[in-house]
């Protein structure tokens, strides 16, 4: 078998067109959806992510406010900025790019964001709403994965979904969302510490790789005919590449593509969906603000 390659870029552009249309509907009311993007430090991967997010916002005719802070910025200073942005009616969403330098508590920072502006869906209130199935912002990468599965009409009801990875950003929320009634998968969470990992991942009709290790998922770990979703974005040294590195997913792409029925490439799979779902959350935040609807 040779897998259908899931074109995340094309699907993300469809989502972004719809977001742009929704943003345009707010214009007569003088509302331009606006995301404040905070980057602390100069991690090159984080810098490229925030640049891509800001470019996508501009393309959807939405606004961004760019806060680039020195790596030495104190936690109090960052919390004070978040306090000002929470109170700023021109700002509908606040994104603090993670990871933060180790002297800053990510938990305190995330919790300081007004849940109504938590377009990353990381605030404990957002996480609680997600788990309870209440309205609220869904985290962007897991939400993007669900949209890919839906768009490709990959059967999820009754399917066994194996999630490899347990991060707060991807693994945990994705496992939760996949078990929702409208998706109806049976979910197993595993990780790099799981005993006999290949015997678990091989059970997945849907296998989500989100462990953050390049090439971890080899063909022997994949069920024939599975849908393989690769969330990994790993920079691996490549002297032949212009930048000196190339991006590699958590999946050993070539051999796994021979065995799977569907596969996401890296880049061009899940990554563009993360950005599209962020934009969707920003326009949603602005719509709620315009409608005076509670979070």
277 binds ligand GUN (CB under 6 A): no
Q: Least distance from C-beta 293 to ligand GUN, angstroms?
A: 24
CA separation for the pair 184, 222 (Å, rounded)? 21
Range 250-278 burial, b when 16+ CB lie within 10 A, else e = bbbbeebbebbbbbbbbebbbbbbbbbbb
Q: Has 53 been annotated as catalytic? A: yes
Q: How far is the CB of 289 from ligand GUN (least distance, A)?
A: 20
Least distance between ligand GUN and beta carbon 280 (Å): 13
Nearer residue to ligand GUN within complex by CB, 143 or 223: 143
Close Cβ partners of 126 (under 8 Å, ≥ 6 residues apart): 115, 118, 136, 137, 139
Q: Which is nearer to ligand GUN, 54 or 258 (CB)?
A: 54
36 binds ligand GUN (CB under 6 A): no
Stretch that binds ligand GUN, among 92-100, 204-212, 217-225, 259-267 (CB under 6 A): 92-100
Residue 278 or residue 286: which is nearer to ligand GUN going by CB? 278
Residues 6, 140, 149, 175: which binds ligand GUN (CB under 6 A)? Answer: 140
Residue 166: CB atoms within 10 Å: 18
Tell me how far, at minimum, the Cβ of 112 lies from ligand GUN, in Å.
14
Q: Which of 33, 94, 116, 120 binds ligand GUN (CB under 6 A)?
A: 120
Report in angstroms how near the CB of residue 261 gets to ligand GUN at its nearest. 28
Q: Are 210 and 178 in contact (CB under 8 A)?
A: no
Q: Catalytic: 97?
A: yes
Question: With respect to ligand GUN, which residue has the nearer C-beta, 94 or 263?
Answer: 94
Among 100, 169, 177, 178, binds ligand GUN (CB under 6 A): 169
Chain positions 173 to 232 lying near ligand GUN, rule: CB under 6 A, are none
Q: Shortest Cβ distance from residue 229 to ligand GUN (Å)?
A: 16
261 binds ligand GUN (CB under 6 A): no
**191 near 217, Cβ under 8 Å?**
no
Out of 120, 230, 250, 252, which one is annotated catalytic? 120
Count residues contacting ligand GUN (CB under 6 A)? 9
Which window, 24-32, 91-99, 206-214, 254-262, contacts ligand GUN (CB under 6 A)? 91-99
Residue 195 is a catalytic residue: no
Based on the shown chain and the rule CB under 6 A, indicate whether residue 141 belongs to the binding site for ligand GUN: yes
Residues lying near ligand GUN in the complex (CB under 6 A) are found at 95-98, 120, 140-141, 169, 274
Positions marked catalytic: 53, 97, 120
């Amino acid at each position: 078998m040779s897998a259908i390659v899931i074109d995340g870029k094309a699907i993300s552009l469809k989502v972004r067109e719809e977001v742009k249309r929704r943003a345009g509907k707010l214009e007569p009311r003088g509302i331009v959806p606006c995301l404040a993007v905070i980057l602390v430090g100069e991690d090159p991967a984080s810098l490229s992510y925030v640049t891509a997010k800001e470019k996508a916002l501009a393309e959807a005719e939405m606004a961004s406010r760019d806060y680039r802070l020195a790596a030495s910025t104190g936690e109090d200073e960052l919390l004070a900025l978040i306090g000002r942005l929470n109170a700023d009616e021109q700002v509908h969403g606040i994104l603090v790019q993670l990871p933060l330098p180790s002297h800053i508590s990510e938990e305190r920072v995330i919790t300081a964001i007004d849940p109504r502006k938590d377009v990353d869906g990381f605030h404990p209130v957002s996480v609680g709403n997600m788990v309870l199935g209440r309205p609220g912002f869904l985290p962007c990468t897991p939400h993007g994965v669900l949209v890919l599965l839906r768009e490709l009409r990959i059967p999820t009801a009754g399917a066994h979904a194996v999630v490899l990875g347990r991060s707060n950003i991807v693994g945990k929320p994705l496992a939760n969302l996949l078990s929702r009634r409208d998706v109806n998968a049976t979910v197993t969470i595993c990780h790099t510490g799981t005993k006999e990992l290949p015997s678990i991942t091989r059970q997945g009709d849907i296998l989500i790789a989100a462990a953050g290790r390049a090439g971890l998922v080899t063909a022997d770990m994949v069920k024939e005919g599975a849908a393989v979703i690769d969330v990994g974005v790993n920079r691996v040294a490549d002297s032949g590449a212009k930048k000196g590195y190339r991006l590699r997913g958590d999946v050993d792409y070539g051999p796994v593509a021979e065995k799977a029925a569907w596969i996401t490439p890296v880049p061009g799979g899940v990554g563009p969906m993360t950005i599209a779902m962020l934009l969707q959350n920003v326009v949603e935040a602005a719509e709620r603000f315009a409608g005076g609807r509670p979070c």
